[in-house]
Structure 1
């Protein structure tokens, strides 16, 4: 009798947790943030792909330059050959006190806020990686930084997703936990992050790839595609 009651009680608790999760719109814990490779379209075995991880911060001029001059003009052309892995954190510091995260970002509180917006976008759009890449690229390259999160969502037809992203950001405990995850990933980098953007290919950093990525992104990608796609490499 005891075990039957215990079993029924356990089921009841699970149901309640599921209902609360659906009501808030968030999972009880942040989704696990993938490390490379984040494979999409695995059935396209004939297409060579490379995982590019971009460690960056939202208001860094060099990061904006990379998104503007390298990622944006090449995204459509190379996207099907890429697994893009965005890590919006950069030269930030985090501390935890009484269960609350506190962040200090290189370019001030606005950068911390923008980093959270982008972390939440990654959390909301895991099943739409191309939309996510377009959204983050739009966000980073917007001339008018005010309301860029909304304007980019409107431009890309993602207003429904925008509401979920906004809800995520406004849930401070949740969005802070997401950002802390990216902080842990950034601090575990080898070599240690000392500049941004820092870009790795298939989870490995080297200076030649970094230089190529910042100055000739197609060349950096093509070095890893075997066989090399005709006409673009």
Structure 2
């Protein structure tokens, strides 16, 4: 049977009359071109406004997508654990980028070695053997907990104790931050921590220009010298995407390299340091 042999049902008389009435009144039927009613002027304006709004949102989304795809700015901090100025920078400056949202455009590299030196195969640290211990502990924490939020919280905890002159209590930071004490202890005991410190020694000694003191802050390969506390402004300047709100009002000092203002620990000085806090300003007492 082919489709021509199929008997098509006839519409009831009532339905046929109804269709005939539509035709007589000029209403569209299946075999005539449909009549498209005109859109009232007010509705037309509304459609235009909706289109413009959609276009604006699309452009905003495209701009946001472009910004989020921009490469992050690299920030490297070369420091040593018992240097009060390094501790002060970590606790009172670097930690801010986790609160103001700037961390979203930054790759942070923490290098706990500082002004240490290798002599006869042994690492000597500027502030004594205990600094070597804590340098290695923080290196092991970074290695054992690669997630920045996690190992930075541990380092922040230890450096806060340094500022309070309570760094002998550093092991309490395991329970406070969730960094695994067993992994860090094994790293320290089995010699892997020493290997990490030797790697950091090579990384620090390869700096160009060479570091002269700590903290030594480098943004996208450029050292900030004495203006390191203004590091956020340099991050915002280096970022190629749409800057986050935290960048508002930040400016870069043109002459960034200047004479020391005393807020650094120079390389080549072997010192024993203790810190005191007076009027919210940190001072250092050095015993050569």
TM-score by length of 1: 0.69
Q: Which residue of 2 aligns with 1:232?
A: 246
Distance in 1 between the 2:118 and 2:148 partners?
28
* Higher RCO (CA < 8 A, seq sep 6+): 1
For 2:109 and 2:173, how far apart are their aligned partners in 1? Answer: 19
User: 2:153 aligned to 106, 122, 134, which one?
Assistant: 134
Structure 1 partner of 2:97: 74
Rounded Cα–Cα distance in structure 2 between residues aligned with 1:56 and 1:45: 30
**C-alpha RMSD of the superposition:** 2.0
Please say which structure displays the higher CA radius of gyration: 2
Asked if residue 121 in structure 1 is aligned to residue 141 in structure 2, the reply is: yes
> Structure 1 CA distance, aligned partners of 2:188 and 2:209?
30
Change (3 A) 1:177 1:212: same
| Aligned structure 1 segments of 4 or more residues deviating by more than 6 angstroms | none
> Which has the larger displacement, 54-63 or 77-86?
77-86
- 1:26-41 to structure 2, matched below 5 A, reads none
Residue 64 of structure 1 corresponds to: 87
Structure 2: 5+ residue runs without aligned partners?
Answer: 1-66, 248-288
The unaligned stretches of length 5 or more in structure 1 are: 1-43
Distance in 2, matches of 1:134 and 1:120, equals 14
Match of 2:222 among 180, 191, 205: 205
Q: Does 1:50 align with 2:73?
A: yes
| Cα separation, 2, equivalents of 1:92 and 1:230 | 37
* Residue 105 (structure 1) aligns with: 125
Q: How many residues align?
A: 177
On the 8 A contact 1:54/1:87 being kept in 2, the answer is: yes
Q: Does 1:192 align with 2:210?
A: yes
Aligned to 2:232: 218
SS in structure 1 opposite 2:92?
helix
